């Protein structure tokens, strides 16, 4: 099937380019495109994503999708103007029926798109503003103006009497849309349907992003020693990733020593000490495609209970990974993990995201979500072309140390292919000159 025909029915990565041999290693080709080999084909990527969005919209009860979620905007329009826009509600895009997406952007960014984004019709690139999270109050009329413009486009495309799916929205903007007679419904589920299966180009970008974090963990391994602070490592990794081409270092968790139990999901200025167990999560994106990638280290030496915790953490992860294959259920994968009470938590809500799986793509959390909290009541099918992370956590018997490991997997016809490659089969010891006493 030729992707550029506009046909939206995309089933698996192999449909994108029948000449690509998925039996070969997934490439991590670097940060530039070249004339002597094909790397990422960004126009093919745009056509795939827009085709997926149109197909998901057509399969829903909605006539159009309105996105304020910047991940969905990038997915539909292949535009981005920086991480600062993530929480501003300053950009929005409308996909109405089979039409091309309309994009409203921050001031002069709209002019920029007309010059540099030729895959979008110039008539679809608008300057827009609904008030920057209420700092311009609704009474100023920006939201009313936007709602009327959206209603006009819905009518123009013959979907004005159908429900409008919205992913995230300010309440005042939703009220203005409703004043125009528009039925507003949940559109995030439609976009998550679209983003569920990754194309060849998306998988390459996810693999490239993971390769960057491989390098970041080598930096951590080489520099982590007594006297270094959690914050120092976070700063060094931020610098390295941005130099390597990251477009957003969203977060780096750095948790050491007595801070490991319970897991606080942050970093501090704590000074790392000999014998500490330390774990990190590096969340960053390359060309919009994210990583969620944990590794655990010990500093200088490791105790018996620390090594035991690591082995158990690795076993829980590997047992779940072995269950990844097309047709398996998320409940089957989640059942490989211990109950919350078995590793020190009162219930599954308090232990949520410690034994965890989640899709990854332009968003940090996509489908499938795998957890004992939800997967038994609402299991989902694993499909070829999904990319997701599995992460496990095990506290040590000393009461304060813990291990945390995470791998990212591509679902192939034959099972799971791991793309997070920094060695984690055994507990890494950073700067082992301190000895291995237990």
Do 196 and 359 touch, CB atoms closer than 8 A?
yes
* 153: Cβ contacts below 8 Å, ≥ 6 apart: 94, 96, 102
Q: What is the pLDDT of residue 8?
A: 38
Summarised one tens digit per residue, pLDDT across range 119-173 is 999 999 999 999 999 999 999 999 999 999 999 999 999 999 999 999 999 999 9
**Helix, strand, or coil (residue 107):** coil
Nearest C-alpha neighbor of 291 from the set 257, 248, 327:
248
Q: Can you give the pLDDT at residue 434?
A: 56
Ramachandran angles phi, psi of 198, nearest 5° = -95, 145
pLDDT at 31: 87
Q: 271, 215, 226: which is closest to 431 by C-alpha?
A: 226
**Domains, in order of start, for the chain:** 3-195 (3.40.350.10), 200-434 (3.90.230.10)
What is the pTM for the complete model shown?
0.94
First and final C-alpha spacing in the chain: 59
Q: pLDDT digits over 190-232, tens only?
A: 999 999 999 999 999 999 999 999 999 999 999 999 999 999 9
Q: How far apart are CA 362 and CA 383, in angstroms?
A: 18
Cite the DSSP H helix spans in 106-167.
Answer: 109-116, 142-156
| 278-331 pLDDT per residue, tens | 999 999 999 999 999 999 999 999 999 999 999 999 999 999 999 999 999 999
Locus of tokens 């655990």: 296
- Neighbouring CB atoms inside 10 A of 365's CB total 16
Please, what is the Cα angle at 210 between 208 and 213, to 5 degrees?
Answer: 115
Beta strand pairing status for 184-186 and 164-166? parallel
Mean pLDDT of 84-96: 94
């Amino acid at each position: 099937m030729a992707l550029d025909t506009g046909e939206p029915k995309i089933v698996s990565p192999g449909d994108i380019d029948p000449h690509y041999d998925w039996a070969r290693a997934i490439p991590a080709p670097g940060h530039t495109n070249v004339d002597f080999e094909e790397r990422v084909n960004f126009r093919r990527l745009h056509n795939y994503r827009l085709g997926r969005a149109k197909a998901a919209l057509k399969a829903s009860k909605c006539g159009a999708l309105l996105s304020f979620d910047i991940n969905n905007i990038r997915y539909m329009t292949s535009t981005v103007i920086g991480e600062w826009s993530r929480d501003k509600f300053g950009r929005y895009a409308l996909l109405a029926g089979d039409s091309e997406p309309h994009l409203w952007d921050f001031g002069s960014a709209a002019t920029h798109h007309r010059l540099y984004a030729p895959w979008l019709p110039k008539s679809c690139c608008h300057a827009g503003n609904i008030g920057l999270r209420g700092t311009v109050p609704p009474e100023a009329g920006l939201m009313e103006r936007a709602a009327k413009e959206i209603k006009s486009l819905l009518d123009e495309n013959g979907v004005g009497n159908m429900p409008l799916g919205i992913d995230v929205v300010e309440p005042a903007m939703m009220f203005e849309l409703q004043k125009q007679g528009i039925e507003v419904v949940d559109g995030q589920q439609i976009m998550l349907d679209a983003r569920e299966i990754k194309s060849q180009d998306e998988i390459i970008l996810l693999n490239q992003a993971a390769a960057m974090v491989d390098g970041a963990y080598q930096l951590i391994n080489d520099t982590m020693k007594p006297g270094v602070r959690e914050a120092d490592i976070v700063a060094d990794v931020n610098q390295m990733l941005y130099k390597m081409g990251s477009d957003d270092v969203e977060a780096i968790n750095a948790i050491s020593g007595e801070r490991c139990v319970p897991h606080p999901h942050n970093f501090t200025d704590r000074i790392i000490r000999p014998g500490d167990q330390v774990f990190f999560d590096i969340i960053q994106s390359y060309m919009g495609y994210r990583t969620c990638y944990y590794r655990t280290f010990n500093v200088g030496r490791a105790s018996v209970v620390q090594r035991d915790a690591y082995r158990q953490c690795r076993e829980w992860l590997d047992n779940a990974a072995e269950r990844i294959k097309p047709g398996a259920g998320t409940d089957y994968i989640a059942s490989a993990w211990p109950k919350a009470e078995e590793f020190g938590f009162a219930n599954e809500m308090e232990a949520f995201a410690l034994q965890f799986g989640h899709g990854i793509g332009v968003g940090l959390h996509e489908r499938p979500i795998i957890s004992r909290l939800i997967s038994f009541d609402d299991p989902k099918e694993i499909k070829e072309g999904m990319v997701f992370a599995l992460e496990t956590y095990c506290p040590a018997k000393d009461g304060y140390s813990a291990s945390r490991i995470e791998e990212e997997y591509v679902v192939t016809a034959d099972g799971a292919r791991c793309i997070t490659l920094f060695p984690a089969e055994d507990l890494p010891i950073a700067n082992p000159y301190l000895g291995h006493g237990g």
